[in-house]
Amino acid sequence: MEDVRSIYTFGRELGRGQFGVTYLVTHKTTKEQFACKSIATRKLVRRDDLDDIRREVQIMYHLTGHRNIVELKGAYEDRHSVNLIMELCAGGELFDRIISKGHYSERAAAEMCRQMVAVVHNCHSMGVIHRDLKPENFLLLNKHENSPLKATDFGLSVFFKPGDVFKDLVGSAYYVAPEVLRRNYGPEADIWSAGIILYILLSGVPPFWAEKEQGIFDAILRGHIDFASDPWPKISSSAKDLIKKMLQGDPKERITAAEVLIGYRGELHVSFSRIQMIMDNCISASAISSLL
């Protein structure tokens, strides 16, 4: 079994999670830098923990190649750890960028929404549900203001087939869909999470909030979205309409990733009003053609 430390030089710590530590590493031959997620096998106490890590590796290899998903370069396993060598995203987490900025302009939020929904669409078309979309799990490729987003941490992700129903309660409190709380969900839960992130990008706060986790869950199940508080009166009705469609309580009625992307039509720097107009026109044309 090849030793990761014979290929890469380990540098400073980049982050720390429940199971492991992420380090800056440098390839000894090419001098190219990467991120290495190092998971200590002693922390994998359940029989299924190692299987979960192997599934994460399998899913990342399956999805590698999409411009908004962190690329997995290699995986190494020894007696002490599992090491995932990944594309280095020097801009850090989207979560930290939101904290420093407060909130984003509509134009910037629209572009970030496009990238997040592109990830969701790619995952779903490849038979994968992410199940833990949140700002902490989107990295910025570089420190530039308009840096591309890269989805990461597929530790809770699963493969699915059309019609599959999942019942395990996973995800992060603010971003979890109501059907997940009811333990009866499918891929639509990812669009809900992306809608929550869009709400936060525009306002700086989550739509469903409470001091305790159960209070957050209760608010999610009630489904009341606050569009009255600042800054929402200044935000376009088109932006609010898209959020409402993404946060539709009934997953069968919720907008799909493909339907959201129709509104972008490959355009750069598109506004929410433009997205809504294109979506409405496409839906109208589809409805008319179905009657012919």
Q: Which residues are annotated as a binding site?
A: 37
Residue 286 structure tokens:
């589809």
For residue 169, what are the CA distances in angstroms to 154, 156, 179, 209?
16, 11, 10, 19
Among all chains, which residue has been given the structure tokens 């989805």? 151
Could you list the residues known to form a binding site for ATP, using ranges. 37
Burial string for 24-46 (b: 16+ CB within 10 Å, else e) reads bbeeeeeeeebbbbbbebeebee
| DSSP E strand stretches across 87-137 | 92-93, 128-129
For residue 119, what are the CA distances in angstroms to 112, 167, 191?
11, 23, 10
Give catalytic residue positions. 132
What lies within 8 Å, CB to CB, of 135 at 6+ separation is 93, 94, 95, 98, 197, 200
| Amino acid present at 175 | Y
CA distance 69 to 122: 9
Question: Could you count the other beta carbons within 10 Å of the beta carbon of residue 253?
Answer: 9
CA distance 276 to 213: 34
State residue 196 phi and psi, 5-degree precision: -60, -45
Query: Which SS3 state, helix, strand or coil, does residue 223 take?
Result: coil
